[in-house]
A and B are shown apart, each in its own frame.
Chain A
Amino acid sequence: MTTAAPPRKIPGLGMLRETGKLFALGLDVARGFFQRPFQLREFIQQAWFIANVSILPTILVSVPFGAVIALHLGTLTRQLGAESFTGAVSVLAVVQQAAPVVTALIVAGAGGSAICADIGSRTIRDEIDAMEVLGVSAVQRLIVPRVLAAMLVAVLLNGVVSVVGVLGGYFFNIILGGGTPGAYLASFTLLAQLPDLWISTIKALIFGFIAGVVASYRGLNPSGGPKGVGDAVNQSVVITFLLLFFVNFILTAVYLQVVPPPGS
């Protein structure tokens, strides 16, 4: 027999391959950050665009989010008799967990899906190929500015969510919940510390990167035809969400190990 046996199908191999390609693109993009020329125009346009589509939803989400945490904590701390800690826990929860996750969800949902659809339609129209053939790296020219834009907007929105979330918590806790403003504000620094703000920012940065890279990856590899682009957009959002919570878990676990809680 001269014909070679058909390669055996190993379950999960396809998924592994996709994951590998995703990481490869992530590395390419990371390397692209340091390569010149930097596409400043594209970067500003994209940052403006992503900020535009995500700022309103972010604020609208972060107000009730902060409120839910505040209300929950309000009743919980009252039961435990630790009302003075409400502000501390609320700020910790909002800044460290809620803000980066909410930001990333919005950046992925609003910005990432747009990036994916844009890149995807360019791919099926051969625009990406055409660009590559003209000797211009599509990763350098299109993807890097978009990922950087997603990261920048994620960090900035993270700040917005933190502030709006804390304000929302304050409003619901003090005005509606009948708490004492002094105790609420004074306890801010009781549990929370500066590294919390850092980890929050770093998380937002990493989540923005993930959202940008996943959206670009799915956009560069749509599975055939215009329908493929629709599927790719859908998948990019879902994949980003999954990765987001997983990475959040890892980062939080590492943070809790590395940074000692205040007072210890």
Chain B
Amino acid sequence: MGAEVVIEGLSKSFGSQPIWRDVSLSLPPGEVSVMLGPSGTGKSVFLKSMIGLLKPDTGTCVVNGTDIVRCSEHKLYETRKLFGVLFQDGALFGSMNLYDNVAFPLREHTKKSEAEIKRIVMEKLAMTGLSGAEDKLPGEISGGMRKRAGLARALVLDPEIILCDEPDSGLDPVRTAYLSQLLIDLNAQIDATILIVTHNINVARTVPDNLGMLFRKELVMFGPREVLLTSDEPVVEQFLNGRRLGPIGMSEEKDSATMAAEQANVEAGHHDGGTEDVRGVVPQIQPTPGLPERQGERRRKDRVMQILHTLSPEAQEGIIESLSPEEQQHYGVRPHQLVGAGQHAGGGAAGSTMPLPSEHHGELPAEDVANRPGDRAAESDSGRHTDAQWWSNQ
């Protein structure tokens, strides 16, 4: 299972210019989180602070019990081995070919034989679609390939935490979609905690379990994806819709006069820049069929259902609708229940053919939670299987 990252009260400034203040969040283990923010809000600085490349002024960032901000150098290097980081341009070593680049962490940190290194490197290169390019130098390949090679290198040590700095920048939409799928598949396979820093709306809407947004030198929000996707916070709404109308301006902020003028323009029929209204919760990307189920997704469902009552009605609605009818029954929730529409959509019919689980309080046993119907049938008589077993049985 991936490591948990708990950040509390983190602040960073360059000279007298604050970058962000008092950022507190925790990346739940094994879940995929996305940090959004307009250009220049210090997203990359945030990422670098998390791995101790930059030293924040105050606050703590605890990974596996080690405070990255204040620990000794030796401890820092040890903790960093848990991380796999994908930099904006891949940050490959220009003097080495792709093979040596990907093999570098293995050669530095492990005593594996060359044959074993070769096997692992080839596997990771194949995973990122780079088979056959291992002899190329980073200068000889396209930006997209560099990025994928950077990801391959970040993965060779089987990291528990993967940080991606704008995996989509400079990539076409198709490759971005592939990369998103790759990250989700990875999460399903190695159950790593993933944080993606981006300003791509599509990635933000379809990939993560949790979403956060940095703006005006602070963390505006961080929480389950449904909360931000249904949020009526002006900044979040503007950003997720890619409109000009709202508090974000060409420079970081805009004044009220500009806002009023723009509002007037839009009311007079001038286009606001957004291509379509994309509010609301869209389905999340699922692992490629054949891969094990994402453990993080299971845990997240438990976690989110526990805090469900604290969320906004729209977010609750989104979360409940994203559950399968069986899951809705497990958790004892129904769609539209909260807004009082009183429809018993789907859930009742499917539920009548399935045995109802016994009642639980707090966390459910693993076999009762978030299984797809197929899983349940396979598991019903033999009790608790690990996913690997289940997968190999198929």
Judging by beta carbons under 8 Å apart, are B108 and A127 in contact?
A: no
CA A127 to CA B109, docked complex, whole Å = 18
Q: Which one, A61-69, A134-142, A206-214, A246-254, is touching chain B? A: A134-142
Judging by beta carbons under 8 Å apart, are A7 and B91 in contact?
A: no
Q: CB within 8 Å of B: which of A120-134?
A: 121-122, 125-127, 129-134
Q: How many residues of chain B are within 8 Å of chain A by beta carbon?
A: 24
Judging by beta carbons under 8 Å apart, are A125 and B91 in contact?
A: yes
Residue A260 interfacial (CB < 8 Å): no
Q: Which one, B80-88, B204-212, B380-388, is touching chain A? A: B80-88
Judging by beta carbons under 8 Å apart, are B53 and A129 in contact?
A: yes
Judging by beta carbons under 8 Å apart, are B80 and A132 in contact?
A: yes
Judging by beta carbons under 8 Å apart, are A130 and B109 in contact?
A: no
Residue B89 interfacial (CB < 8 Å): yes
Residue A12 interfacial (CB < 8 Å): no
Residue A178 interfacial (CB < 8 Å): no
Given A7-B16, A135-B81, is A130 in contact with B105 using a C-beta cutoff of 8 Å? no
Judging by beta carbons under 8 Å apart, are B53 and A125 in contact?
A: no
Judging by beta carbons under 8 Å apart, are A134 and B51 in contact?
A: no
Judging by beta carbons under 8 Å apart, are A133 and B85 in contact?
A: yes
Judging by beta carbons under 8 Å apart, are A126 and B87 in contact?
A: yes
Judging by beta carbons under 8 Å apart, are A129 and B87 in contact?
A: yes
CA A131 to CA B48, docked complex, whole Å = 13
CA A198 to CA B206, docked complex, whole Å = 69
Specify the chain A residue showing the minimal Cβ separation from B86: A130
Judging by beta carbons under 8 Å apart, are A133 and B80 in contact?
A: yes
Given A125-B94, A136-B108, is A130 in contact with B85 using a C-beta cutoff of 8 Å? yes
Per-residue B-contact encoding for A136-156, CB less than 8 Å = 1, 0 else: 110001000000000000000
Judging by beta carbons under 8 Å apart, are B87 and A137 in contact?
A: no
Please give, as numbers and ranges, the residues of chain A lying within 8 Å of B87 by CB-CB distance: 126, 129-130
Judging by beta carbons under 8 Å apart, are A127 and B92 in contact?
A: yes
Please give, as numbers and ranges, the residues of chain A lying within 8 Å of B48 by CB-CB distance: 129
Specify the chain B residue showing the minimal Cβ separation from A6: B16
Judging by beta carbons under 8 Å apart, are A133 and B94 in contact?
A: no
Please give, as numbers and ranges, the residues of chain A lying within 8 Å of B88 by CB-CB distance: 126
Q: How many residues of chain A are within 8 Å of chain B by beta carbon?
A: 17
Residue B78 interfacial (CB < 8 Å): yes
Per-residue A-contact encoding for B64-81, CB less than 8 Å = 1, 0 else: 000000000000011011
Q: CB within 8 Å of A: which of B91-107?
A: 91-94, 104-105
Choose among A7, A121, A129, A134 the residue that contacts B108 (Cβ–Cβ < 8 A): A134
Choose among B91, B93, B108, B153 the residue that contacts A135 (Cβ–Cβ < 8 A): B108
Question: Chain B's nearest CB lies how many Å from the CB of A235?
Answer: 20
Specify the chain A residue showing the minimal Cβ separation from B87: A126
Please give, as numbers and ranges, the residues of chain A lying within 8 Å of B104 by CB-CB distance: 134, 136
CA A7 to CA B93, docked complex, whole Å = 39
Specify the chain B residue showing the minimal Cβ separation from A131: B93
Judging by beta carbons under 8 Å apart, are A122 and B108 in contact?
A: no
Judging by beta carbons under 8 Å apart, are B91 and A129 in contact?
A: yes
Choose among A127, A132, A133 the residue that contacts B93 (Cβ–Cβ < 8 A): A127
Specify the chain A residue showing the minimal Cβ separation from B51: A133
CA A125 to CA B101, docked complex, whole Å = 14
Per-residue B-contact encoding for A75-102, CB less than 8 Å = 1, 0 else: 0000000000000000000000000000
Judging by beta carbons under 8 Å apart, are B91 and A127 in contact?
A: yes
Q: CB within 8 Å of B: which of A148-195?
A: none
Per-residue B-contact encoding for A16-36, CB less than 8 Å = 1, 0 else: 000000000000000000000
A-B contact pairs, 25 of them (CB 8 A): A7-B16, A122-B93, A125-B91, A127-B91, A127-B94, A129-B91, A130-B93, A130-B150, A131-B93, A132-B53, A133-B51, A133-B53, A133-B83, A133-B85, A134-B80, A134-B105, A134-B109, A134-B157, A135-B77, A135-B78, A135-B108, A135-B109, A136-B104, A136-B109, A141-B108
User: Which residues from chain A sit less than 8 Å from chain B, CB to CB?
Assistant: 6-7, 121-122, 125-127, 129-137, 141
User: Which residues from chain B sit less than 8 Å from chain A, CB to CB?
Assistant: 16, 48, 51, 53, 77-78, 80-81, 83, 85, 87-89, 91-94, 104-105, 108-109, 150, 153, 157
Smallest CB-CB A-B distances: 10 pairs: A126-B91, A130-B91, A135-B81, A135-B80, A133-B85, A126-B87, A134-B105, A135-B77, A136-B108, A129-B53
With A126-B91, A127-B91, A133-B80 given, can you name 12 additional A-B contacts, CB distance below 8 Å? A121-B94, A125-B94, A126-B87, A126-B88, A130-B85, A130-B153, A132-B53, A133-B51, A134-B105, A134-B108, A135-B105, A136-B104
